[in-house]
């Protein structure tokens, strides 16, 4: 694990309260010094800052490092280029008061919130590898009156002063917003990030299949949020193969048994392309490819058996590139943190943003897939060979010459209950989390330890299967 430790900084958390030192991995103010890696290929992007002093972790084990304090203050003390990807959801503007001084989201104006986000992600850019990505989930709110603020106690034990802001979005002079206006916070933040030098590569819609009900009668109820994929350079690491949409059983059945559908319209006189004929040609090409790949006999063994015999690579090869609308249900969390990511929402971000094989231990560069294109697919899809690649190996993206690898690092500067870390660990990545609220960190430690136990158990079972 990338070990980060060093002189304590007063502006960054005070460590865990007394009585918690028996938790494995807790370091508090007593810690060991370790050598921390900096990304040698990213020194030019460190904005003039060379070696940084490194702060003491709040908690650390072989896969997890947690810091207590302000996100910007902590990141200023971390070495540049330590993270391969950042998956995070900062507090939304004027929505909740978590009862912690210095928290984000309670800025006096929308403009101040946007600029503060730009400042935070300026530090994110410094600690992110040059080929790294950011997956930013951010919600919107409506303009109202400051007097509309209500309050409700947080369900988080130990934080009785936390409040929910009912009148989300204060109507301030100069903002240009009228009462009931949609604030467009996600778009404003994304544009401000672009102006600050980020590449905004995709605006992903998180479509909630079980949204919270709203008592509104003059507009549709909101059932989505945004995730922005951003990069600090035009070229960056992105593993599209890892998150390809698998083919449906219906499509595989058509590939296996042939497609005999036909259009109900006549296209001959108009000169328009018959969609059913195009689909038939594509499917027949896929059938020929699978026959060549796996032998003719297997197609006649029964559909369910044939589906089971296909590898995940073969199933995904028949699927599609990940789309920009992700339908994911919100996930309840009994630990009382206000807003937690659904793990299924985070999973594609981590899988695409980090290498499943790992990274170079010297410079942190991720290993990339070696894929083999299929000419038959390219012919049938009009030359789009990029959608038909099968992984045949991995290769380093650096010239360090190291054959060994270590897990890629995922960072969440607003760690909260640690859901990003749980997903990262479940896929064998290392995790760095930062949060201003020590109680949330305490809550996350047990969850992160449980995730590591599950990972160890699954690996042990896999070894038993391999031995057998």
Q: Quick one: 454 and 374 in the same domain?
A: no
3-state DSSP of 31-98: CCCCCCCCCHHHHHHCCCCCCCCCCCCCEECCCEEEEECCHHHHHHCCCCCCEEEEEECCCCCCCEEC
pLDDT at 409: 98
**151 assigned to some structural domain:** no
pLDDT over threshold 80, residue 267: no
**172 assigned to some structural domain:** no
pLDDT at 377: 52
Average pLDDT over residues 442-451: 94
Q: Quick one: 280 and 411 in the same domain?
A: no
**111 assigned to some structural domain:** yes
Average pLDDT over residues 182-194: 96
**336 assigned to some structural domain:** yes
Write down which residue in 390, 423, 446 finishes a domain.
390
pLDDT band at 317 (very low <50, low <70, confident <90, very high): low
Q: Quick one: 447 and 338 in the same domain?
A: yes
Count of domains observed in the chain: 2
User: pLDDT over 90 for what percent of the chain?
Assistant: 47
- Is residue 426 a contact partner of residue 349, using CB atoms and an 8 Å limit? no
**174 assigned to some structural domain:** no
- Is residue 90 a contact partner of residue 139, using CB atoms and an 8 Å limit? no
Query: What b/e string do you get for 203-242 counting C-beta neighbours within 10 Å, with b at 16 or more?
Result: ebebebeeeeeeeeeeeeebeebbbbbbbbbeebbbbebb
Phi, psi of 164 (to 5 degrees): -100, 125
Q: Quick one: 306 and 258 in the same domain?
A: yes
pLDDT at 452: 95
Q: Quick one: 231 and 264 in the same domain?
A: no
pLDDT at 277: 66
**163 assigned to some structural domain:** no
Q: Give pLDDT tens digits for 14-30.
A: 333 334 444 445 444 33
pLDDT at 125: 98
Average pLDDT over residues 359-367: 96
Q: Quick one: 130 and 252 in the same domain?
A: no
**75 assigned to some structural domain:** yes
Q: Quick one: 338 and 262 in the same domain?
A: no
Average pLDDT over residues 258-276: 56
Q: Quick one: 275 and 348 in the same domain?
A: no
pLDDT over threshold 90, residue 45: no
pLDDT band at 170 (very low <50, low <70, confident <90, very high): very low
Query: What b/e string do you get for 376-392 counting C-beta neighbours within 10 Å, with b at 16 or more?
Result: bbbebbeeeeebbbbbe
Any idea which of 66-70, 107-111, 222-226 has the lowest mean pLDDT?
A: 107-111
pLDDT at 309: 59
| pTM for the predicted model, two decimal places | 0.74
pLDDT at 3: 36
Average pLDDT over residues 1-11: 33
Q: Quick one: 136 and 94 in the same domain?
A: yes
Q: Which residues pair with 289 in a beta bridge?
A: none
pLDDT over threshold 60, residue 263: no
d(CA 308, CA 316): 13
Looking at residue 239, what DSSP letter applies?
-
Q: Quick one: 412 and 280 in the same domain?
A: no
Which class for 424: exposed (0-12), middle (13-18), buried (19 or more C-beta within 10 A)?
buried
Q: Quick one: 190 and 226 in the same domain?
A: yes
Length of the chain counted residue by residue: 468
Average pLDDT over residues 288-305: 48
CATH code for the domain in which residue 238 is found: 3.40.50.150
Write down which residue in 390, 425, 445 finishes a domain.
390
- The helix/strand/coil state of 391 is strand
pLDDT at 401: 95
User: By residue range, what is the domain housing residue 82?
Assistant: 40-140+180-245+324-365+400-467
Q: Quick one: 222 and 313 in the same domain?
A: no
**23 assigned to some structural domain:** no
Of the candidates 91, 64, 133, 137, the residue with the CA atom closest to the CA atom of residue 424: 64
Q: Which residues pair with 199 in a beta bridge?
A: 231
């Amino acid at each position: 694990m990338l070990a980060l430790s060093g002189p304590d900084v007063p502006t960054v958390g005070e460590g865990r309260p007394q009585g918690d030192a028996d938790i494995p991995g807790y370091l508090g103010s007593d810690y060991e010094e370790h050598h921390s890696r900096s990304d040698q290929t990213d020194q030019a992007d460190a904005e003039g800052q060379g070696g940084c002093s490194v702060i003491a972790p709040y908690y650390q084990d072989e896969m997890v490092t947690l810091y207590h304090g302000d996100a910007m203050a902590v990141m200023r003390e971390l070495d540049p280029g330590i993270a391969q990807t950042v998956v995070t959801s900062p507090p939304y503007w004027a929505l909740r008061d978590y009862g912690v001084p210095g928290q984000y989201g309670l800025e006096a104006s929308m403009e101040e919130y946007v600029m503060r986000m730009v400042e935070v992600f300026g530090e994110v850019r410094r600690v992110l590898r040059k080929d790294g990505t950011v997956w930013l989930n951010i919600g919107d709110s409506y303009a109202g009156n400051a007097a509309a603020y209500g309050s409700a106690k947080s369900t988080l034990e130990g934080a009785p002063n936390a409040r929910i802001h009912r009148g989300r979005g204060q109507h301030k002079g100069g903002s240009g917003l009228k009462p009931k206006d949609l604030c467009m916070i996600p778009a404003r933040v994304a544009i401000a990030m672009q102006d600050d030098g980020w590449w905004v590569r995709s605006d992903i819609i998180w479509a909630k299949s079980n949204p919270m009900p709203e008592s509104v009668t003059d507009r549709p109820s909101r059932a989505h949020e945004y995730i922005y994929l951003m990069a600090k350079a035009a070229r960056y690491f992105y593993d599209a193969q890892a998150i390809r949409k698998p083919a449906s059983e219906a499509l595989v059945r058509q590939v296996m048994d042939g497609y005999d559908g036909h259009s109900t319209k006549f296209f001959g006189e108009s000169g328009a392309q018959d969609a059913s004929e195009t689909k038939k040609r594509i499917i027949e090409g896929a059938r020929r490819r699978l026959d060549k790949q796996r032998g003719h006999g297997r197609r006649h063994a029964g559909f369910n058996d044939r589906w089971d015999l296909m590898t995940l690579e073969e199933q995904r090869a028949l699927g599609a590139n990940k789309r920009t609308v992700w339908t994911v249900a919100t996930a309840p969390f009994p630990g009382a943190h206000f807003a937690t990511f659904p793990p299924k929402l985070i999973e594609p971000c981590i899988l695409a943003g980090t290498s499943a094989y790992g990274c170079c231990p010297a410079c942190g560069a991720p290993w990339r897939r070696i894929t083999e294109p299929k000419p038959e697919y390219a012919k049938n899809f009009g030359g789009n060979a990029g959608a038909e690649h099968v992984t045949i190996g991995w290769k380093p993206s650096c010239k360090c010459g190291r054959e060994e690898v270590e897990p890629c690092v995922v960072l969440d500067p607003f760690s909260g209950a640690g859901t990003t870390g749980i997903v990262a660990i479940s896929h064998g990545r290392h995790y760095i989390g930062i949060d201003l609220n020590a109680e949330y960190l305490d809550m996350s430690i047990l969850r992160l330890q449980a995730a590591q136990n599950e990972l160890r158990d699954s690996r042990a079972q896999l070894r038993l299967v391999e031995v057998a």
